[in-house]
Structure 1
Amino acid sequence: MQNERKHLEELFRKYQMGLVTEEEKTLIARWLIQLDAIGQLTADQLAVRQALSQGDLKEHFFPIETAKPIRFPIWIRSVAASLLILSTITGIFYFNNKSHYWAPPTTLREMTTGTAEIKVITLGDGTKITLNRKSRLKYPVSFSGKTREVFLSGEAFFEVTHNPKSPFKVHTDKLDIQVLGTSFNIQASRLDKELSVSVASGKVGVTPTKAKITTYMLVTGDQLSYNRSTGKFSQSLVNVANIKAWQTGKFIFRNETLENIAHQLERYYKVTILFKNKSLLAKQISLKVKNQSIDTVMKALSISAEFRYRIEGNKVVIW
C-alpha cells in the first residue's frame, strides 16, 4: 500500500505539470476509487465504482463541453467528494514542497549543462538563451496564452524577442523577472549567496517571488543583487560589455565576496575549493581575468585578498 501511494503521488506531480498520458489519468481516477473503497464495499459495489471511475470520474480528467446532469446515490456522491478532497490535498502537498516552484500545466522541456559546457537554446518565439555551466532551464515546447514563461536555476543570458502582447517571464527560486523584449543576464545559482539581474539593453522588471508588493525597474547598465542570507536588495551600475563576459571565458569580479568567486571557479575549473580560514569567505574582491589557468587565477586572487593556498589535484585549499 505504501508503494502504491508513492506511485500515486508521483502520478499527481506529473498531472499537475501536464505530463501524464490519458492512460495515466484514467489510472489516477481508478486508483483513488479503489483506495477509498477497500474494506467498505461489497465486491459488486466496488465493481460499480470502478465502472464509474472509467465513466463519470473520467470526466474530471477529460472534461467535455456539454453533459447532461445525472443524480447519483449518496454513496457515489461521497466518493466524488472524497476524490476532490484527496486531489486538493495532493495539490497542496505538491505546491508547498520547497524543492519545486510553480510551473504551468503544459509540457516542459529541460536543458542542463555540465561543469565544462555552455549551451545556446533558441525558443519557438525566436528568443535566444545562452546557458552557463552547471545550470538548468525549463521551457515549454511552444508558447501559448498571454505570457511566455521559463524557469531557471543557475546562470543564463537572455536575448528576448519583442512582443508587447506577450510578456516574457523568467522564474527563479527567489526572483521573478519580466520583460517585453530586451537582453539581460541572470545569475541565480542556489549555491551562491547572492542572486543578480544585469540589463544589457532595454528595460526589466524584477519582483521577489514571495513578496510581490515591490517591483524593481532596471534599465540598460543596471544590476540588481539579492542577498539570500539577509533578504536585502542592492542596486548598482555595471559596464554593459562585462555583463556577458563569461561567454568568452572572462571572469570580472566587482566587489564580490571570495565565497561567491569560489563557487564560480568551482563550476568553471571542475575543482573543489576549501576554506581553512572562514573569515576569508566574506572578503570582497574586484578582479578581471581571461582564459587563465586555475593556478594563475588563484595567484591573482591570493595577492588581492592576502591569503595563501595550495592546489592538490582537483582540490584547492585556502588559508
Structure 2
Amino acid sequence: MKHTDYRDYSVDELTRDDYFRHWVIDHNRQSEAFWLEWLDQNPDCADKVQLARAFLQALAEKDTALAPSELGQIVANILQAGQPTLVPLWRRAAFRLAASVLLLLGLGFIAFRYVSRQTDPLGASLAELSPALASASIETVNTTSRPQTIRLQDSSTVLLYPKAMLRYSKQIAPDRREVYLSGKAFFSITKNPKKPFWVFTDQISTQVLGTSFLVNSTASDAKVEVRTGRVSVYMRTDVRRDRLAGKNESAGMVLTPNQQVAFSSIDKRLVKSIVEQPVTLHESPSNDYIFDETPISQVFELLERNYGLTFIYDAPSLKECYLTANLANESLFDKLNLICKITRSSYELVDGQIVIHSQGCDNK
C-alpha cells in the first residue's frame, strides 16, 4: 500500500511517479484499485489526476519509442512551457507530436470538466455507473412552480418537483432501468424483478423492484423516504467501486414503508430512521383505534400492521398493561405518546424501529 501524500503532488510529479504510471500506462490492477479509492477520498484532486492521466496516455499511445525517463522529461518541459528548458526539445519530432496532441487534450479536458460538473458534480464520471445515461439519454428540468409528472417507457411515473432535474435513457437496458436525479422527486415504479430500477444522485444510489418512494437530493445531502414496497440504498461511491471492479453491488441499507435514510455529509455515511409523518399503508375502519381494556400487545400488533413498522418491546413486562382510549384521529407519534403516558412507558426510534421501554403496569 502506498503511503505517499499525493495531495501535494503537482501534475508533473504525478506523471513521474512510478505507481501512477503503473496504473495509467501498465494498467496494473493493484495500482488501479489504489488510485480509484484515493480519488473517492480526494474528489477535489480529480482534475489534477485526470490531466496527468491525459498527458501520459497521449504520449504512450503515440509510441514515441522514448525511455521512461526521457518521456517524463518531455512532459515536464511541456508543463513548464515558456521556460528556457523547453528550447532544446523544439526540434524533436516526439515533442512536436506530444505538444499538438496535448493542445487538443487541453481543449477537450476543459469541455470534459464543464460537462462532468453539470451532470456529475461529485467528479466521479456518470459513465462509470451508467453508460446509457451518459450518452443516449433525455434530460428534463422542471422550470415551473408546480410538480410535473413524467411517464417513463416502462410505465413508471416520476413526480418531478420545481427546479429538479431528471435524466433517463432513451432505450431501456436489458437488465436494469436507471435514472439520474438532482433535486426532489416522487417515484412510482412498475414492478419488474428482472429489471431493477436505479436512481442515482450525487451522494447515494437507490435500487428498487417495484415501489413508491421520495428522493430529495442536493450537491451535499440526500434523503430517501419509502411509501410502499422495499428499496436498497447505497453510498454512490460503493456502487461505482463495485461496477468498476465488475462485481455485483454489495448489500445496501434496506428500507420498508415509513422508513427513511439520509446521507450525512459530516460523517459520510447513511443514517436510517422513521419518516417525520408516518402514514397508514391501507384504509382501516376508525373504530379499529377505539380500545376498551385491550391488551397493549394487541395495540402494538395493530400499529405494526397498519404502519409497516417494527415495534420492539418486552412482552412479559407489559402483559398486565391494558389500554382504554380513542386514538382514531391521532397521528402515529401522538398515538405513541398517549399509549406511553397511560402505561407509564417511553419509546425511542432506533434504526428505523420503535423501541418501547416499560417497567410494567400496576393495575391493582
TM-score (norm 1): 0.44
Structure with the higher strand share, 1 or 2: 1
The structure that has the greater radius of gyration is 2
TM-score (norm 2): 0.39
